[in-house]
Chain A
Amino acid sequence: MIRISHIHKCFGRLQVLNDVTLTLSKGQSIALIGPNGSGKTTLIKSLLSMVVPDSGTIRFDGADILHGWSYRAAIGYMPQTGRYPDNMTIAHVFDMMKDIRKDTASALDEELFHAFGLASIKNKRMRTLSGGTRQKVSASLAFLFNPSVLILDEPTAGLDPVAAGILRQKIHAVRDEGKLILITSHVLAELDDMVSEVVYLQEGAVKFHKTLSQLQKDTGEQKLVRAIAHVMQTAGCHA
């Protein structure tokens, strides 16, 4: 569904993505893991063409995304830190999104909007919201249009345990519908029963792309946390 081939990206002299090649297909739920600054967010932003790679191509359903824009209708994106216009209220933001996508959107999925209790605070301005509430807004927006691809950048960071639970449940439900899910997270324990594949990024390059069971077999560890720790240690030895 998404084919990333040989993308490079530099910010000034810093090489952030270095020859990344990945194929992500429908029905997979993929954990994108890597140390801080390994290029996870940049990779995600290139998928949304918020960042334009210096070279290489990204194909979505076979079409190059460089000059495309309509493919984004199929993607729900939850940014790491959602930034919203200060003086819009929650209701404004949702109304505007629905208004803009009126032509392309099919059925709306407002489950999270209600589950997070956003309806009761919908007249609050975005400026006054806490980081966690902002995350709730981002999550609800990502799922709102029933996208076939979900890209979640640190989805549960900053959420309280109850909200994080609701979101995890939602991710499970969506995964069972056979959608493509791409998650980055540093809370590896929560990824265990969520993902089927693991992509490990280091210094802008893909170290490996394996299924979870393969990774468990290779490292001899059952838990993702330990498996990744194992990988990081052995990588450290080689360096």
Chain B
Amino acid sequence: MRKIVKYVVLDILRNRIVAAYAALLLVITLTVLNLEDNNAKALLSLLNIVLIVLPLVSVIFSTVYYYNSVEFIELLVCQPLRRIRILLSLYWGLAFSLLIAFWVGVGVPVLCYLHNETGMLLVVSGSALTFIFSALAVLGSVLMRDKARGIGFAILLWFYFSVLYDALVLFLLFQFSDYPLEKPAIVLGCLNPIDLSRILLLLQLDNSAMMGYTGAVFRSFFGGGGGALVALAVLLLWMSLPLWAAMRRFNRKDL
């Protein structure tokens, strides 16, 4: 399995898109960090950019790469290898390459400039989002045979999690504003990995005061050690569930 991961990672690193992605992140990070003298504000700007760019690139690149690897998969499937291992190797190869790009572009500079907990949290949640969105992309591509449909699905997925979901949550909050919604809001936050990462970071930045009572509830839930563990577990679920579903489907897929 390690061998296949190695081939995938080498192949992706030779592909210039991932290098361009790393460079783009690096430019953004350095610009933001150098322009803002207030660390918290810099981190907040960076957070907003990362939460848009990272899922988009992860999900689209992974989807396109999967469809381009169909031949590679076909070649390996008739070899004495477990199917699950082929898919997992492809996933790990993708996730690791994107992760390297993220660390080069955001992780290292952020940890150099702001070596505190908040910077650390940004790097951790960014890494988690990379894993999650690659997993979602692999699931979508395994489910859909047609390339155009698969890429369309990936774009919709990103659009849903980055834009549509927040609109839906706002709509719900307004519709049911007469009811106590603090606890459902926590659940709603967990149903979107991007929102969950954002909440975790905002809590660290003390901007939660601006979120009113809901912010206070978030703070009491996610601020403690237990809440952080729950958040981490939810992020892990977001990664493993799609992957598990993809493997189940892939095991019986006709190639």
Contacts and interface: CB of A to CB of B under 8 A. Distances in A.
A208 interface: no
A106 interface: no
A31 interface: no
A172 B83 CA distance: 33
A85 B69 CA distance: 7
Given A50-B254, A50-B255, A85-B71, A72 B79 contact: yes
B230 interface: no
A93 B71 CA distance: 12
Nearest to A50: B255
A51 interface: yes
Nearest to B72: A85
A110 B168 CA distance: 61
Contacts of A85: 11, 69, 71-72, 75
Contact of A48 (B4, B78, B82): B78
Contacts, number: 61
A69 B78 contact: no
Contacts of B255: 45, 50-51
Contacts of A101: 79-80
A50 B78 contact: yes
Contacts of B121: none
Given A85-B11, A85-B69, A96-B7, A50 B74 contact: yes
Interface in B3-60: 3-4, 7, 11, 14
Interface of B: 3-4, 7, 11, 14, 68-72, 74-83, 252-255
**10 interchain residue pairs of minimum CB distance:** A73-B80, A83-B71, A72-B80, A85-B72, A51-B254, A48-B78, A50-B255, A77-B78, A69-B82, A52-B252
